[in-house]
Amino acid sequence: MPKRSKPSSAPIEREGSPWTGLWAVVTKEMADHMTSARMRILEILIVLTAAGSVYAAMQVLRETVGQDPFLFLKLFTTSRDPLPAFISFLVFLVPLISIALTFDSVNGEFNRRTLSRVLAQPIYRDALLMGKFLGAFFTLALVLTAIWLLIFGLGIVGLGLPPNTEEVARSLLFLVTTIFYGGIWLAVAMVFSIVFRQPATAALASISVWLFFTVFWGILASLFAQVISPVQIGTLTEIVRQTETQLALSRLSPNTLYAETMLALLQPTVRSTGLLLPFQLEGAVMGSPLPLRQSVLIIWPQFTGLIAVTILLFALSYVLFQRQEIRA
């Protein structure tokens, strides 16, 4: 197919739009996801964690009512033992949902032997892959939006206060960031679903990548930082340089990008994502809150980074899929 080996010097022009049939694929994929048992389990899981952590947060917040101008945002970030805050849950729930949505998207069609039949219809491979990605992406967006609305509803009922405009704006941006953070893992799992014929292998590979970034990358970043910018005498500049190296390295992980973005968006008092706070989700910096524009400025590189990684990974899966021989 569009793998363009050129038999003649004339450029091959493809007939029609590469997106013919895209929406048929998207709607079919979404319908599949929505009705699958896999998704129901995950939905129950995420609703339970959302309800649990938000309820716990509300109990804490009731005691401190009126002390914070951004009470609603605290719903996402406040924790009470033994439950962590909702955003801490999200850091691993979102990758889990995303991987579950796409780890068998291409190899599943192979194994069911539906791929050649579907590709024999008047569509291009582009439409199939894009449709599968968008179907999963929209499903993810739908689930997360529903949870987001649920938390808002719980908040209004539980706290008896409506959110102000800035809280709505900040949490909306937070929602968008979370969706794109999920997008990265959708694309990761999709790449593996093209590379590996066995869905189980693809799922395992995706989870390994996620574990690597969640657990090991932080350790590796500090190790590498010690090698790249060693502290020899112990001057302040040396220590600062090492910390900066470590931070730069840890930002290669989408988890760091996401954590920093969440922090700046949900805690208006955060003034910088540098130095002081790589992972401390609840460690608030003292001081007066920043306006939304300023907070967005702080995390703009992280935010665009998340979107860029999603697009890059999708492009990779695209190239791999176009080159794949479809005969089973």
Residue ranges binding another protein (CB under 8 A): 1, 3-5, 7, 12-16, 20-21, 24-25, 27-28, 32, 112-124, 325-328
> Smallest gap, in angstroms, from Cβ of residue 23 to another protein?
8
> Smallest gap, in angstroms, from Cβ of residue 197 to another protein?
14
Q: How far apart are CA 247 and CA 17, in angstroms?
A: 44
291 φ, ψ to 5°? -70, 160
> Smallest gap, in angstroms, from Cβ of residue 207 to another protein?
24
Q: How far apart are CA 326 and CA 81, in angstroms?
A: 52
Q: Tell me if 317 sits within 8 A of 190, measured CB to CB.
A: yes
83: helix, coil or strand?
strand
Q: What is the b/e burial string over 68-100, where b = at least 16 CB atoms within 10 angstroms of the residue's CB? A: eebbbbbbbbbbeeebbbbbbbbbebbbbbbbb
> Smallest gap, in angstroms, from Cβ of residue 47 to another protein?
24
Residue (123 or 277) nearer to another protein, CB: 123
Q: Tell me if 92 sits within 8 A of 214, measured CB to CB.
A: yes
Q: How far apart are CA 6 and CA 38, in angstroms?
A: 43
Among candidate residues 122, 150, 134, 130, the one with its CA nearest the CA of residue 43: 150
Please name the residues in contact with 42: beta carbons below 8 A apart, sequence gap of 6 or more: 96, 97, 100, 143
Helix axis angle for 86-102 and 165-195, nearest 10°, is 30
Q: How far apart are CA 241 and CA 251, in angstroms?
A: 15
Residue (125 or 170) nearer to another protein, CB: 125
> Smallest gap, in angstroms, from Cβ of residue 71 to another protein?
45
Residue (62 or 112) nearer to another protein, CB: 112
> Smallest gap, in angstroms, from Cβ of residue 9 to another protein?
14
Residue (13 or 81) nearer to another protein, CB: 13
> Smallest gap, in angstroms, from Cβ of residue 45 to another protein?
22
> Smallest gap, in angstroms, from Cβ of residue 67 to another protein?
52
Instruction: Bin 66: left if φ > 0, else alpha if -120 < ψ < 50, else beta.
Output: left
Q: Tell me if 153 sits within 8 A of 199, measured CB to CB.
A: no
Tokens of 282: 């609840």
Residue (132 or 170) nearer to another protein, CB: 132
Query: Alpha carbon 21 to chain centroid distance?
Result: 27
Neighbours of 288 (CB within 10 A): 8
80: helix, coil or strand?
strand
Residue (5 or 232) nearer to another protein, CB: 5
Residue (28 or 80) nearer to another protein, CB: 28
Residue (214 or 322) nearer to another protein, CB: 322
Residue (118 or 284) nearer to another protein, CB: 118
> Smallest gap, in angstroms, from Cβ of residue 5 to another protein?
5
